[in-house]
Every structure is written in structure tokens, then in C-alpha cells.
Structure 1
């Protein structure tokens, strides 16, 4: 069922909506992480997005990463599961979302980076090069990657 969020918003308005997000920590051959600077808030994060009804976690992360980067993920492994206070987001239009995040790790992929409408920039960054304006909902797993916290992580 596509447009799940739109359908639910018609029923509940701006009230908190529980969603499942899947993202990927993608590392290149030099061990750098792929970061995406989004067009909607100019913050940095990792590629990913929300699960659609009927999808698996793997299907979701591979679809979202391809849509946002044009990369095809090969082997993926679980990096961590994230929830908690930082998972509650209020958008400028008043919509509220509590998103449980399933984060994968991938270092084997094919394709060439291509920016879509959601991205201002896609670039690989080393652990010591992370930008200061990380998306606060994604900062916990990006910082866990930076600090080389062992996986899988449940927070």
C-alpha cells in the first residue's frame, strides 16, 4: 500500500504516527561513510527511508538507497536498532512521527552516485571529517559508526 503516511494523516491529523525507517551505513573501499545532505533541512545523514506495507527490512533499505543514490546494495548486515526520545520528530507542518530505525551496514555495492530531489549532496566522509550538522535523529548511529561501536546495537 503506497501513500500509507498520507492515508494515516487523513485519519489522525498531526498526532504522532509510528513508522519504521531503514537506512544504510555505506562504506567505500577507504572505510569512509556515505553521507547525504538533504534538501528539506540541509542536514547530513545516511540514505534511507520509511518502510511500505508488505516490504521486508532488506527490500526497504535497498529500495530507499537506490532511489536516493542510484547505488545497488549487495551484502548487507545489521548494524543496529534505534528508538527512544530522539526518534520523536515534529515537522514544520505540525506532523509528529515516532520512527523505529533499523540500520544496516554495507561495504559491497555497485553503481555510480547520482543525486535525486531529496539530496543537495552525496559524499563519502572519513570518521574524523563528519560535519557538525548531523540530523539529530540519525546522529546516534552515525556517531556509533564513527566510534566503531561493535554491532549489532540495540538502543
Structure 2
């Protein structure tokens, strides 16, 4: 399924859904960031996805990181909530989703890198090399906020 992101674009279609979702800044002991190349838009991003009924939000983080990367992660804390109604994502099936994303910090506790049907590449990236990747501006903002260790937000999982 393809995806087009619109950010404050007057030509954007109107949203017809909102789905709570998560992304995770997973950093290893060397400080590298776990990044995925998305199969739906070809851009680099933090791993993440939609919250399912019956899950705690931290369960969603752990599941999505595992599904998309093969890495087992443990949630450390939350770094931000992003709900800009001017950011919508249009999918091939007609869904136009308004952004609702919660960003977490996490650490790897096992697993091995692998791709999935949602990822074409998965890799550990040095923070200094992130600027070389094609990353949507809204995802870059999440990464910058999550890497700023002065900002922490407690959460109840």
C-alpha cells in the first residue's frame, strides 16, 4: 500500500480517520539509532505503527519495533506527542489519516536486524549520519526531540 504525506498543504485531501500510533527512537550502546526504510513511501523513519485494541501503548512500541526490525526493545520513556491536524497521510485504499503519534525512547534488549513487509532496509545509523537520509520533516522533528535528553515525559504504560 502506498502513502503520501501532506504537511500544511492546501491541496491535501480532508482527513477521514485518526489512529493513535507510536514511533520509537531505539539507541544502542554505541549511540546509533535504529532506522527503517519504509516500503510504502521509500523514506527513512523510526520504527512504529498503529495502536491495537487490547494493548498498552508500551506493548505497541515493543510489537511494532519487533515486527518492523527484528529487534526486541524495552521502552525507557516518552519524548513527545504529535497531533498536528495539518499533517495528513493519504493511503491507496482511500484512508486519509490525521497525524496522532506518540514518540518513545527505547533500548534494544535482543533480536537481530531483519526487514519485513513494511520495511525495505533496517540499519543502525550514527546520529551524525542521519542528515544524509531522506527523512520526512515531521519524523526529523521527532528524532531531534527524542535525542534531546533534557526533555523527558513520564508515561504510564
Instruction: Report SS of the residue matched to 1:74.
Output: strand
Equivalent in the alignment of 1:104: 104
Flag the structure with higher strand content: 2
The aligned residue for residue 23 of structure 2 is: 23
Q: Which sections of structure 1, spanning at least 5 residues, go unmatched?
A: 1-13
3-state SS in 1 of match to 2:89:
strand
- 1:95 CA displacement: 2.2
Aligned partner of 2:140 in structure 1 is 139
After superposition, the C-alpha distances for 1:105-152 in whole angstroms (9 at most, x for unaligned) are 112421111111211111111222113411344222013245656223
2:153 matched residue in structure 1: 152
SS in 1 for 2:102: strand
Which has a greater percent of helix? 1
Return the TM-score normalized by structure 2: 0.77
Q: Where in structure 2 are there 5+ consecutive unaligned residues?
A: 1-13
RMSD in angstroms over aligned alpha carbons? 2.3
Equivalent-residue separation in structure 1 for 2:86 and 2:25 (angstroms): 19
TM-score, reference length from structure 1 = 0.78
Which ranges of 4 or more aligned residues in structure 1 deviate by more than 6 Å? none
Q: What is the count of residue pairs matched by the alignment?
A: 140
